[in-house]
């Protein structure tokens, strides 16, 4: 999105312009600002951005309505089975992204049948604990807080990473080429993140979940386990807003990591593409 000027006689006329790709076409939209750039240009830019996303928001709202309609029709026993299946898939993929050796079928055996495979005990315990935290998370309707995030982390890692479980880091960390913020800044950074998460009428929840996830990963508040807590956090936002959740699949980890290494706008575009690719298909099926 950029501000440009055009000459009209001796006068300059200012416009706000945005170009985006839709399929194979590049579409350009613009609005007239006047003979000078208004002081409230940031507000105008945000309103223009929202107007450009009208079709997207309508589609996301349709996904939500279809999901809620189907979910309410399901008997409670069927809902519980579905949540367990989501728990298995989510737990397997989120742990696999972080290097767990547990396969999808082994995750099912651990979670459903309480059968432990011949794999590292750490991976087995983190599979079991993550599933329990995820299912308990879905029962919680409260605001996001430091206490909640620390509890998730502690409950997952208190047997495998006892020295850091349930605590924000108090030392520097590096993730590849990325150097996370100074640990002394974590308290303030997390306060801003949590305040944004809980702010009412804060735009579309799908966009919010992506932004919060991205910023959480950039803060990197824990010594380890940030990816798993960050993906729990994004799904907590989606679920409590009535939207279907999103599983970042292990097979798509490279594009996911690449998006996280970019800027926030790029990650948001990636996230929305993935969300619509998964849930947009279901949306189309309901039309047929």
- Residue 165's CB is within 10 A of a number of other CB atoms, namely 19
- DSSP state for residue 161 in the 8-state scheme: S
- Catalytic residue check, 220: yes
For 6, the domain range is 2-52
**Do 39 and 117 fall within a single domain?**
no
Q: Which long-range contacts (CB under 8 A, 24 or more apart) does 193-202 make?
A: 193/219, 194/144, 194/145, 194/146, 197/143, 197/144, 197/233, 197/237, 198/143, 198/144
**Do 138 and 20 fall within a single domain?**
no
CATH number reported for the structural domain that contains residue 196 in this entry: 1.10.3290.10
Query: How many domains in the chain?
Result: 2
**Do 123 and 232 fall within a single domain?**
yes
Q: What percent of the chain has pLDDT over 70?
A: 95
Reported confidence tier of residue 22, pLDDT bands at 50, 70, 90:
low
CB 139, CB 100: distance < 8 Å: no
**Do 36 and 68 fall within a single domain?**
no
If you average pLDDT over residues 261-283, what whole number do you get? 89
Average pLDDT, the chain: 92
pLDDT digits (tens, 9 = 90+) for 195-206: 999 998 778 999
Where is the domain boundary, 31, 52, 73? 52
How is residue 252 written in tokens? 């798509």
**Do 111 and 220 fall within a single domain?**
yes
Which among 130, 153, 213, 220 is annotated as catalytic? 220
If you average pLDDT over residues 161-169, what whole number do you get? 97
| pLDDT at residue number 80 | 95
Q: Is the pLDDT of residue 100 over 80?
A: yes
pLDDT digits (tens, 9 = 90+) for 220-260: 999 999 999 999 999 999 999 999 999 999 999 999 999 99
d(CA 229, CA 224): 10
């Amino acid at each position: 999105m950029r501000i440009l000027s055009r000459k009209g006689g001796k006068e300059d006329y200012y416009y706000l312009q945005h170009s985006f790709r839709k399929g194979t076409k590049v579409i350009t939209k613009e609005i007239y600002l006047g003979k000078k750039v208004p002081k409230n240009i940031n507000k105008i830019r945000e309103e223009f951005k929202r107007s450009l996303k009208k079709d997207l928001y309508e589609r996301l709202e349709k996904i939500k309505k279809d999901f809620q309609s189907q979910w309410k029709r399901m008997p409670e026993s069927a809902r519980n089975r579905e949540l367990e299946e989501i728990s298995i898939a989510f737990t397997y993929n989120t742990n696999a992204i972080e290097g767990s050796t547990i396969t999808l079928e082994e995750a099912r055996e651990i979670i459903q049948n309480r059968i432990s495979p011949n794999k590292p005990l750490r991976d087995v315990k983190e599979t079991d604990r993550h599933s329990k935290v995820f299912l308990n998370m879905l029962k919680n309707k409260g605001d996001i807080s430091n206490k909640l995030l620390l509890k998730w982390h502690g409950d997952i890692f208190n047997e495998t990473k006892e020295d850091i479980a349930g605590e924000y880091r108090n030392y520097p960390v590096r993730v590849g080429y990325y150097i996370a913020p100074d640990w002394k800044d974590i308290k303030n950074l997390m306060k801003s993140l949590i305040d944004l998460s809980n702010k009412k009428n804060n735009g579309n929840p799908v966009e919010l979940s992506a932004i919060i996830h991205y910023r959480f990963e950039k803060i990197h508040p824990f010594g380890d386990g940030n990816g798993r807590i960050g993906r729990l956090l994004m799904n907590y936002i989606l679920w409590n807003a009535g939207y279907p959740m999103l599983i970042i699949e292990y097979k798509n980890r490279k594009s996911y990591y690449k998006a996280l290494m970019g800027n926030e706008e790029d990650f948001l575009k990636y996230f929305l593409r993935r969300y619509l690719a998964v849930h947009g298909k279901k949306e189309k099926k309901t039309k047929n």
